[in-house]
A and B are shown apart, each in its own frame.
Chain A
Amino acid sequence: MNKFRLFFFIVLNAPLFLSASLYASVDINPILDNARMTVNKAAAKGFEWTTTRKLIEDAETALAAGDKDKSLKLAKAALNEAEKSLIQANYAETHWQAGIPL
């Protein structure tokens, strides 16, 4: 009976263990590179957010300290912000007149 339970435990949790190992092996540097490149594009259009470069710096600090989990979360947050600021800039270029409350 115990062997049966152990078998089901392994089978049901296999995807969880697998994803955890994949998560740990994600290379953070390309995400950070992408975040830097994207925030620079938004900055060139005058739409950089004040918080994005701080997230990138914090991700770099965490990575240097060996805290991959924290670094990955911060790098993803930085990329997400950078992409949103660039979307905001591109949207403003074509839709700024929608903001005229007259």
Chain B
Amino acid sequence: MRLVKRTLKMKSGAILVCLLTINCMAIADTGNKSDLDFKAMVQQDINDFQSFFKKRFSQVEFSEYKNGVYAIDAASREQWLEMEDFPPYEFAVDEGEALFEEPFSNGKTYADCFANGGEGIRQNYPYFDSKKSEVITLELAINNCRQANGEKPLAYKKGALANLSAYMASTSAGNSFATEVPSVAAYQSYSEGKEFFYSKRGQLNFSCADCHMRVAGQKLRADITSPALGHPTGFPVYRAKWEEMGTLHRRYAGCNKNIRAKPLPAQGRAYRNLEYFQSVMSQGLEVNGPSSRK
């Protein structure tokens, strides 16, 4: 009788060990699977997003999307090309270069903060910083550099920061965006940006996708809406409506106001994640900022 009981106990113990082992293997497998899945899902998003515009505007070359609405509307493009004969952002680039080279009070410069001395690196922003677990945009990195060197941060939407960003973008012309989503944490930020892009907000109940996907190329009042593909590539921009330079987050705030949604803080988490999502979707397009817009 005792022998039977012992055998039963040993058997149930062995079964328990087997079950635990299988469970552990399943958990490990799930971990690998999710790691593989998020990269596949991002790639699927990129394919779907870019295919949407290829189908919508079948005559437009992929590389043209860096030019915003001027890629899809011939009349606007003609005016824009005339404006580009005397680019209104040139002064901003010159001012940005002067600021870039001016030493901080500790003798260091912006070049000390960035890879390759800050030249030709626009396409590497935004990126996901795994140590800080957040998205770093070029404008945020510029202010981080200032603060690390004992300087006050600059205002994020226009002025000196937009000029610095314009100069740094100008040194990167022709380099292609290759924004990656390298980890599960990065995927979280990417997903938040994606959610923002497709969520309807404001009194008019519009999402970014409503204007820049669904009705891209059509008129909203007097303006033709630009395709979302390539949105970040030309920023910062000189906008005729502003009569000055402005950053991408200034434009985000303007878009939100247009649909009567209260704008969120420039370089806050929400807008940075949105820029991250849009930059991932624009993979393969060239940097052509600074540029000019209506």
Binding site for B on A (CB under 8 A): 43, 46-51, 81, 85, 88-89, 92, 96-97, 99-102
| Interface: B201 (CB within 8 A) | yes
Question: A96 to B195, Cβ gap below 8 A?
Answer: yes
Give the distance in Å from the alpha carbon of A97 to the alpha carbon of B270 in the complex: 17
Q: Are B262 and A99 in contact (CB under 8 A)?
A: no
Q: Which residues on the B side are within 8 Å of A102 (C-beta)? A: 48-49, 52
With contact pairs A99-B207, A101-B213, A102-B52 given, residues A49 and B260 touching in the complex (Cβ less than 8 Å)? yes
Q: Known contacts A96-B199, A102-B52; decide if A50 and B262 are in contact (CB<8 Å).
A: yes
Q: Which residues of B contact A49 (CB under 8 A)?
A: 202-203, 260-262
Asked if A97 and B198 sit within 8 Å, CB to CB, the answer is yes
- B260 lies within 8 A of A88 (CB): no
CB closest chain-A residue, reference B256: A50
B201, closest chain A residue (CB): A47
Assign chain B's interface to a size class. 20 to 34
- Taking CB atoms, residues of chain A closer than 8 Å to B214 are 101
Partner of B199 from the list A81, A85, A99, A101 (CB cut-off 8 Å) is: A99
Contact pattern, B 228-271, Cβ under 8 Å of A = 1, otherwise 0:
00000000000000000000000000000100111010000010
Over the window 170-213 of chain B, the binary record of Cβ atoms lying under 8 Å from chain A Cβ atoms (1 yes, 0 no) is: 00000000000000000000000001101111110101011001
**Neighbour of A50 across the interface among B195, B202, B209, CB < 8 A:** B202
Sample 10 A-B pairs with CB under 8 A, ordered by A number. Answer: A43-B262, A46-B201, A49-B260, A50-B257, A50-B260, A92-B199, A92-B200, A99-B199, A101-B214, A102-B48
Choose among A89, A92, A97, A100 the residue with the greatest number of B CB atoms under 10 Å from its CB.
Answer: A100
Residue among A48, A96, A97 making CB contact with B261, cutoff 8 Å: A48
